[in-house]
Amino acid sequence: MFGETTSKSGSLNIGRRRFVQGVVAGGVIAGFDLWRWPALATSRMVEPAVLRGNDFDLVVDEMPVNFTGRRAVATAINGSVPGPLLRWREGDIVTISVTNRLKVPTSIHWHGVRSPADMDGVPGLSFPGIAAGETFTYTIPIKQHGTYWYHSHSRFQEQTGHYGPLVIEPRDKDPIQYDRDYVIMLSDWTDENPETILSNLKGQSDYYNYQQRTAGTFLSDVRKHGLGATVSDRMMWGRMNMNPTDIQDVSGATYTYLINGKRPPPTGQDCSARASEFACASSTARR
C-alpha cells in the first residue's frame, strides 16, 4: 500500500510516503502497469472508507464476497475488504477497540508503527490475541508519521481479507503541497483455502508453476545453443533444485490481484471506461 499525492501543479510526488505493502511482489506491480492507469490520477478513484480521530471501533467478521465469479467468504473489517483507511496524527494517543465476531481468535498488528510491546498485536509474542466474541482495546501513542498498514497475525486471516491501510499525518505542516492524497492498496485474493495453498507448496514448491520446460523446449534450446550448452544449463538448474520459470511461489493460477479491493476487468477491456468500478490491469497480470 502506498500514498500518492497530486501537487497543485499537477505533478506527482511519489516519494512523500514510503512504500510499505509487502503482499504484492514487484513483478506483479510491473504486470499491472500502474503508472499508465488513468484511474490513479482522477477523482473517480475507488478508495477505502476513511476513519479519522483518536478513538476507533473496528469489527472483524466474516463477509460473503465474489471477486472471481465464484462465491467465497472473506475476513472483513467493518464489513469491507480492505478494511477502512485509518488516519491518525503524530503526537496523539489513539485507542482502537477491536471486536471479534469470528468463531476463532483474531488480532491486528500495526505494521511499521512504533507501539508498546503489548499493543503490537502479535499473538503469543506481545499479547494473547482476541478471543471469539471478545473486544480488545489498543492504546498507542503516535510517535511518527507516514504511510503504513495493519493486518491480522492470526493464522491465514490476512490472506482472506483481514488488512487495511493506515496513514499517520505529521504533527507539523506537511512540507509538500498537494491537492489530495490517493491511497492505493495492493493485495491478492484466492478462492482456495490458504491452508490448502500452504500444503500444496510444502508438497511441491512449483505446484502453481504452469510454465514448465518440456522436451520440446529442450530440443528448441539444442537448436539455438547446442547440445552441450543445453545439457549444462539443465544440470545447473538441477543441482540448484530450481526451475528457471518459477519466479514466485504462487501465481495467477490461484491468485486474483486487487487494488483497493477491486479486481481487474476481463483481459482486453478498456481501463479508462471502467475505472470507477474495477481496478484495471494489463493482460500480463492475468497470465
d(CA 77, CA 279): 20
Q: Give the model's pLDDT for residue 27.
A: 37
- The pTM assigned to this predicted structure is 0.73
4 three-class SS: strand
Can you read off the three cell numbers belonging to residue 158? 490476512
d(CA 212, CA 216): 11
Distance of alpha carbon 105 from the chain centroid: 22
117 three-class SS: helix
d(CA 267, CA 111): 34
248 three-class SS: coil
Most confident of 3-12, 89-98, 206-215, 219-228: 89-98
> What tens digit of pLDDT does each residue of 30-86 get?
444 444 443 333 334 456 789 999 999 999 999 999 998 899 999 999 999 999 999
d(CA 205, CA 242): 9
Place of cell 506491480: 29
Residue 219 C-beta-side C-alpha neighbours within 13 Å:
3
**Dihedral (CA of 243, 244, 245, 250) sign:** positive
